[in-house]
Amino acid sequence: MTDTRYACLAGRTVIVTGGGSGIGGAFVRAFAANGARVGLLDLDDEAAGALVEEIAATGASRPVFAKCDLLDIPALQAALGTLHAALGDAAVLVNNAANDRRQDFLAVTEAEFDWSLGVNFKHHYFASQAVVPQMRRLGFGSIINMSSVAWMGGGPSMQAYSAAKAAVVGFTNSLARDVGKWRIRVNAIAPGMVITPRQRELWYQDEALITAGRARQSLPDPIEPEDVAALGLFLAADDSRMITKQCFQINGGSR
């Protein structure tokens, strides 16, 4: 696959939540390869640290990592402040962090429900709230919110997760209306079946499940984290300057 390079991203500050691994790690690599100054938030300092060293070894600008539990909103705000001090005003925010833990609907407690909404949606709201003033100062910006096809197709044992990912799209549409006057664009990405190492370990240990999922796609190839990151680059770049308030599915034509 030939990777498009966006010269406009060089030198711009990009923030990625949950950027230590998986799709988030693919975002961090892609933006760094395009010359962006990348800040990443993650709870897994070992994975994030390894990714920072990997990227620095390529000669790209070393990403700045801030450890943060995104369920702790004051800690999130403080971590974003740390990245702002190190990197300056953010031109791009990728609200990527999520956890698609399966839950038994009849057994879910209020605390478990709140956890799912918090880890899958709430931090989108408050990270955006913190970054929008920075984008206003720049006179432009792009916020990319990660949703999921789970809420569209009705993923089993994922009621709270699906509700959160549907909320992400509603939030995207509303925020885009308010911040467009400052040339800040807000879009969502809804990936289909992306088999990261974590997904394989937790939910797709049986290869037959992967085969069945891929059979529902119109395209036969696996959806890779890099495919999602490629769309993120486009939505962050000036090439998509008139695209906002949209939710893009990357599902291989499965729905």
Among all residues, which ones are annotated catalytic? 161
Q: Which residue type occupies 172? A: T
Provide the β-strand partners of residue 223.
194
157: left (phi over 0), alpha (psi -120 to 50) or beta: left
Question: Would you tell me how many other CB atoms lie within 10 Å of the CB of residue 231?
Answer: 18
Contact 6, 34 (CB under 8 A): yes
Chain Cα centroid distance, residue 7: 22
Contact 236, 142 (CB under 8 A): yes
For residue 108, give both structure tokens: 């879910």
Question: Locate tokens 């740390």: which residue?
Answer: 82
Residues 6+ apart with CB under 8 A from 28: 16, 19, 38, 40, 51, 55, 63
User: 192, 190, 227, 229: which is closest to 213 by C-alpha?
Assistant: 192
Q: SS3 helix, strand, coil % of the chain, rounded to 5?
A: 50, 15, 30
